[in-house]
Structure formats: C-alpha cells, structure tokens
C-alpha cells in the first residue's frame, strides 16, 4: 500500500532504504521550518544553514542553534523535500518540497489555527452574526468532508 505525500512527510517511516523522521504537522519547529521554505528567495539563491536558520529562529521566536538546523535539513532531505546542489553547501527545494511546504503551511495557518481559535472562543458566545455564520459554514463543510471520507467525529 502506498502512502500519501502527507503521510510520507508527517509520519516516520522509510524512504529509499533510509529511515525518515517525521515533520510533525502542527509541531512549532516543523511548521516554522516549512514556513521559512515558502519564501521566494530560496528559489533564486538556494538554501543554506546560515541563511535559513535566522528565518526559522524569527518564526519560532526562540533560539534555534545551527546543529538543530542541520538536523532539520537532514529531515527535509530524507523526506525528499530538498536536494543538495552539487559541489556546494546549498540546497534547493524539490518540486514535491515546494508543494508540500506550501500546502502544510497554508492549511495550518488558514484552517487549523482559526478552527482552534474558534473552538476556544466557543466557550465565549460569538456576538457577531457574520462571524457566527462563517463558523457554522466551516463546521458544516468539515462535517460533510468527514462524512464523505467516513471519518469519525
């Protein structure tokens, strides 16, 4: 049984005979690394530990040492999201890497964050009728997709 791209990247396993370590969806460090990959600068100049690390550190809002960045670059490589530019210390995103980084970052920031914020706010009644209607639409849509996929609530 083949695993989906989402499963290959977010769950541990083996890829090309090498043990892979998951980039756990929602984990702050993994999400910061993926968000940093979405910058267009990397398409032109490529990635380097010393150029990517400060971006991730800013997104995390916490110290992010170089060895941790090296480990995360390894995780990206074994998951097939980046590849080394021959005879350099630079990396480039693979087409699968661009697609994955954009999807995971956008889905988390545009769907998951607002849904959890809405769930937290559910303890406090939403007074704005427009926002209440939007939240109902999101919930109805998610319920419909879950039913179609036969997912438990």
pLDDT in tens, 66-99: 999 999 999 999 888 999 999 998 999 999 898 8
CB-based contacts of 68: which residues, under 8 Å, 6+ apart?
A: 29
pLDDT at 1 over 50: no
- Give pTM, 2 decimals: 0.70
pLDDT at 18 over 60: yes
Q: Name the most confidently modeled range: 7-11, 14-18, 76-80, 127-131.
A: 76-80
In a domain, 115, yes or no: no
State the Cα–Cα distance between residues 73 and 81, nearest whole angstrom: 9
pLDDT at 4: 75
Mark whether 149 and 95 lie in a shared domain. no
CB-based contacts of 53: which residues, under 8 Å, 6+ apart?
A: 64, 66, 69
In a domain, 116, yes or no: no
pLDDT at 16: 65
Task: Name the strand (E) or helix (H) holding 84.
Answer: strand 82-84
In a domain, 66, yes or no: yes
Nearest to 31 by CA among 8, 61, 5: 61
Range of the domain at 127: 122-153
Mark whether 58 and 102 lie in a shared domain. yes
Q: What is the mean pLDDT of residues 42-64?
A: 87
Q: What is the mean pLDDT of residues 1-7?
A: 67
In a domain, 57, yes or no: yes
Mark whether 104 and 127 lie in a shared domain. no
Sign of CA dihedral 10, 7, 110, 100: positive
In a domain, 17, yes or no: yes
State the Cα–Cα distance between residues 68 and 31, nearest whole angstrom: 14
pLDDT at 153: 45
């Amino acid at each position: 049984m083949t695993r989906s791209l989402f499963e290959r990247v977010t769950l541990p396993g083996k890829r090309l005979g090498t043990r892979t370590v998951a980039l756990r969806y929602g984990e702050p460090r993994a999400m910061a690394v993926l968000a940093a990959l979405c910058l267009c600068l990397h398409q032109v100049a490529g990635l380097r530990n010393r150029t990517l690390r400060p971006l991730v550190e800013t997104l995390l809002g916490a110290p992010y040492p170089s060895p941790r960045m090296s480990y995360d670059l390894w995780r990206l490589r074994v998951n097939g999201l980046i590849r080394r530019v021959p005879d350099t210390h630079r990396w480039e995103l693979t087409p699968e890497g661009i697609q994955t980084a954009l999807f995971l970052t956008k889905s988390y920031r545009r769907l998951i964050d607002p849904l959890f914020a809405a769930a937290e706010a559910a303890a406090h009644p939403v007074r704005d009728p427009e926002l209440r209607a939007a939240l109902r639409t999101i919930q109805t849509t998610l319920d419909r997709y879950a039913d179609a996929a036969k997912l438990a609530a």
